Structure 1
Amino acid sequence: MNKKTIKYAIYSLVAMSIAASMAHAKSDFQTPPSLSRGSTMKAPDAMQALRDAEMLREDAMARGDVELLKNLFSDYYYHVESNGRVRSKTQLLMAVQRGELKFLSYKVDEVEIRLNGFVAVAVGRFTVTREVGLDKIQYTGRFMRVWERHGNRWRNTMHQSTEVKPAVSALRNSVSTQ
């Protein structure tokens, strides 16, 4: 295992630990009035900045805007696609630039953001239509993204998505009624 793989694995474990601890938090989660000692960004401002960053990311993915994505992603960005493929920041940006990862539409249907100081986790649902060769495929998925605050700016450090497939019983029912 090379150092880069180990580094990504560590970041993944940290992100999952944060997400797990946040999942056990009270459902009426309240952000503190100040994110940290000496911080000038208040929690409501930070939440709005994160919502804005999420919307920018959604728009950049839909348009294939490599420059905007480059600015939104941290240098050690780690991307796990819904099919399990893993890409670094550079690999993902190159795939977008070459048109290998081309979205005809990319829409976030819901997002919940949990803020914990200089780290935030966004979880939600998305629907995409992609161009894969000559085919167009559409699917819905769930995502988890980790964001880190650098000064007054949020950078996306990790993205993990999972395709939502129809339940087997729903498929059986639709097949038996046809």
Structure 2
Amino acid sequence: MAGKHIDAVRERESARFDAMVEGDVEQLDALLADGLHYVHSNGKRETKREFLDALTTGRRRYLDIDIRAQELRQFGDTVVVTGKLKVELETATGSLESQMAYTAVHVLEADEWHLISWQATRMASTD
């Protein structure tokens, strides 16, 4: 059963990154937990609403998200994802392209997996 949950969270992670690049706020709303804490690589923490609003208003636009590594571990109704990715985005202060290490925590709520916590850290470029 754990493999099934791991696969479901892996699919939702991929769908979330796709929705971020596509600017699909409706899809993101369904994938994110209402109590989300999203900590960007610059240390700024946002709620679900703040994160979605930045995409809706165009203050943040993801151009590409490329998963470089990913490990998923399940602990009951929680799956912890650790990984590395390359992100390209535009913000009100300019363009950014960086390698990041991240931790994402998904919880099972009403038979659906939702992202409840995200923390990313910029890494030295490896390309």
Verify same fold: TM over 0.5.
yes
SS of the residue corresponding to residue 7 of structure 2 reads helix
Q: Does 1:89 align with 2:59?
A: no
Q: Which residue of 2 aligns with 1:153?
A: 112
> What SS does the aligned partner of 1:113 have?
strand
Check conservation: 2:6, 2:79, Cα contact below 8 A. Answer: no
Write the deviation string for residues 15-49 of structure 1: whole angstroms up to 9, x where unpaired: xxxxxxxxxxxxxxxxxxxxxxxxxxx11211111
Compare the two structures and name the one with the higher helix fraction.
1
Find the structure with the greater CA-based Rg.
Answer: 1
User: Residue 58 of structure 1 contacts residue 108 of structure 1 at CA under 8 Å; is this kept in 2?
Assistant: no
Identity %: 28
1:1-178 equivalence runs, <5 A: 42-133=1-92, 135-165=94-124
Stretches of 4+ aligned residues off by more than 4 angstroms: none
Length-normalised TM-score, structure 2: 0.92
More strand by share: 2
CA RMSD of aligned residues (A): 1.6
Instruction: Tell me the number of residue pairs that the alignment of Structure 1 and Structure 2 aligns.
Output: 126
For structure 1, the 5+ residue unaligned runs are 1-41, 168-178
Alignment TM-score, normalising by the size of structure 1: 0.67
Report the counterpart of residue 9 of structure 1 in structure 2: none
- Which structure 2 residue ranges, 5 or more long, are not aligned? none
SS of 1:99's partner is coil
